[in-house]
Amino acid sequence: MTQDKKVNDLISQMRTAVDSARAATAATPAPTFSKQPAPAMPALAKTTETNQSRALLLLINELMSGVETRFGIKPGTLVERKLVRIFKDMPMETLRDWVESMNNCSPDHSEWQSLVENLTVHETYFCRDPDLMSMLADDILPHLLNLRKTQKQLQIWSAASSTGEEVYDLTFSALRAMQKAGYARLFDGKLVPESGWGLFVFGTDISNQALRTAKGAMYGDLGMGSFRNLPDEWKGMFEDVKIAPANAMPGVKYFKIREWIRQCTRFERFNLMNNRPPVMGMDLVFCRNVLIYFEDPIKKAVQTMLARAMSPGGVLVLGASVQMLTPEYFESRLGKGGPWYVRNDTRV
Ligand SMILES: C[S@@+](CC[C@H](N)C(=O)[O-])C[C@H]1O[C@@H](n2cnc3c(N)ncnc32)[C@H](O)[C@@H]1O
């Protein structure tokens, strides 16, 4: 979905919310703002246009800062400007009422959830960064398999997994590295861990829409879609789909992740702003192409939460452009696919 489409969806959603708030206000004989000393409408009618737009801007900023404190995302000025244009003809008190009610809602409330669905960017695809994928296969996974050869278990978390491509990349790569190390084998066309070995790959995201696609594990062969960068040897991850998904696009061919890959995975909703991780003892954590939307103090809080979720010796991979802000918990390494960070023993 393009950013413009997202913004338009957001705007139409907010328009509906404001309309329903306005209808509710009209239906109520004693509006809540009547407690204020001066009635809001006459006072507003007297305000100058400049004062009105200043008030509108303040309300929009309040809403946007609500988004940032609840989800970390700092919406850009484009969204802000579009919202101003839409809301400028709305009765100010209705809008104020709605923003106030949003202020009192938890991030899990459906209204915030709808807003965040429209503000998040779900762009992702298989084998998104080939250099990182080869560093994963050649350096990171062998390091982790050696570390876990006694426990015989590898636990991986993709924090902000979007529609699931990264989770399935990680699962397939881990199974192939396990096969290379002699900890998995090809059986009946399937790559399966050797007896006693376990692989668990967890994907989380704030977006329920993205999680639904991830769990469905079905991807369409669109020009710039999930398969835009797929190397031939990765095609073994997929099987043809006989029944297309309910929202299938005409003329698009769909493929499904094979069952032996899917069975190592699990998806759940998780907000990175939560300082309690949803899983502990992780050996490998990917948190890519999401922290770029956050300010430094939030980035640092998220990195601390990720460090809490990890075992000593575990590896954290952030986007190449994201600075490591919690060096007290990690030792840095630099490979051909960018930096990776090894968790030390320091307790969080
Ligand atoms: C661009 S995608 C990145 C997907 C994948 N990691 C990759 O690199 O291809 C960013 C994802 O971050 C998610 N996201 C944004 N803010 C979040 C938050 N506060 N908590 C959890 N996920 C969030 C979005 O919903 C979106 O699916």
pLDDT tens figures, 156-213:
999 999 999 999 999 999 999 999 999 999 999 999 999 999 999 999 999 999 999 9
pLDDT at 70 over 50: yes
* pLDDT tier for residue 319 given thresholds of 50, 70 and 90: confident
Please indicate whether residue 4 or residue 84 has the higher confidence score (pLDDT): 84
Give yes or no for residue 295 CB within 6 A of ligand 1.
no
Please indicate whether residue 288 or residue 76 has the higher confidence score (pLDDT): 288
47, 67, 101, 285 from 92: Cα distances, Å: 11, 20, 14, 45
Give yes or no for residue 213 CB within 6 A of ligand 1.
no
Considering the domain architecture, whether residues 60 and 201 belong to the same structural domain is answered as: no
Largest CA-CA distance found in the chain, in angstroms, rounded: 78
Give yes or no for residue 160 CB within 6 A of ligand 1.
yes
- 234 located within any domain: no
Q: By alpha-carbon position, which residue is closest to atom 9 of ligand 1?
A: 124
Considering the domain architecture, whether residues 91 and 206 belong to the same structural domain is answered as: no
DSSP assigned state of 249: P
Sheet containing 282-287: which strands, arranged edge to edge? 265-269, 198-205, 153-159, 282-287, 310-318, 338-343, 330-335
Give yes or no for residue 163 CB within 6 A of ligand 1.
no
Residue 109 Cα to ligand 1 middle (Å): 19
Query: Alpha-carbon dihedral of residues 71, 86, 96, 269, nearest 10 degrees?
Result: -20
Percent of the chain scoring above 70 in pLDDT: 86
- 35 located within any domain: yes
Residue 312 Cα to ligand 1 middle (Å): 25
Considering the domain architecture, whether residues 210 and 284 belong to the same structural domain is answered as: yes
Considering the domain architecture, whether residues 111 and 169 belong to the same structural domain is answered as: no
The pLDDT, as a whole number, for residue 8 is: 54
Helix axis angle, 49-71 to 77-87, nearest 10° = 130
Q: By alpha-carbon position, which residue is closest to atom 7 of ligand 1?
A: 124
Residue 161 Cα to ligand 1 middle (Å): 6
Structure tokens at 79: 């969204």
Closest-lying ligand 1 atom to the alpha carbon of residue 73: 16
pLDDT tens figures, 11-69:
566 656 555 555 655 554 433 333 334 334 444 455 566 777 788 888 888 888 898 99
Percent of the chain scoring above 90 in pLDDT: 62
The pLDDT, as a whole number, for residue 64 is: 85
* pLDDT tier for residue 84 given thresholds of 50, 70 and 90: confident
The pLDDT, as a whole number, for residue 33 is: 30
The pLDDT, as a whole number, for residue 165 is: 98
Considering the domain architecture, whether residues 99 and 210 belong to the same structural domain is answered as: no
The pLDDT, as a whole number, for residue 20 is: 59
Considering the domain architecture, whether residues 18 and 50 belong to the same structural domain is answered as: yes
The pLDDT, as a whole number, for residue 136 is: 98
CB distance 225 to 132 below 8 Å: no
| Domain termination site, one of 119, 142, 161 | 119
CATH number at residue 295: 3.40.50.150
Considering the domain architecture, whether residues 108 and 205 belong to the same structural domain is answered as: no
Which stretches of the chain are DSSP H helices? 3-27, 40-46, 49-71, 77-87, 92-103, 110-119, 130-135, 141-147, 165-180, 208-216, 259-262, 296-308
Give yes or no for residue 123 CB within 6 A of ligand 1.
yes
Considering the domain architecture, whether residues 54 and 183 belong to the same structural domain is answered as: no
Quote the mean pLDDT of the chain. Answer: 87
Considering the domain architecture, whether residues 264 and 147 belong to the same structural domain is answered as: yes
Residue 269 Cα to ligand 1 middle (Å): 11
Q: Find the domain containing 42 and state its range.
A: 3-119
Q: How far is CA 64 from the centre of its chain?
A: 18
Give yes or no for residue 117 CB within 6 A of ligand 1.
no
- 109 located within any domain: yes
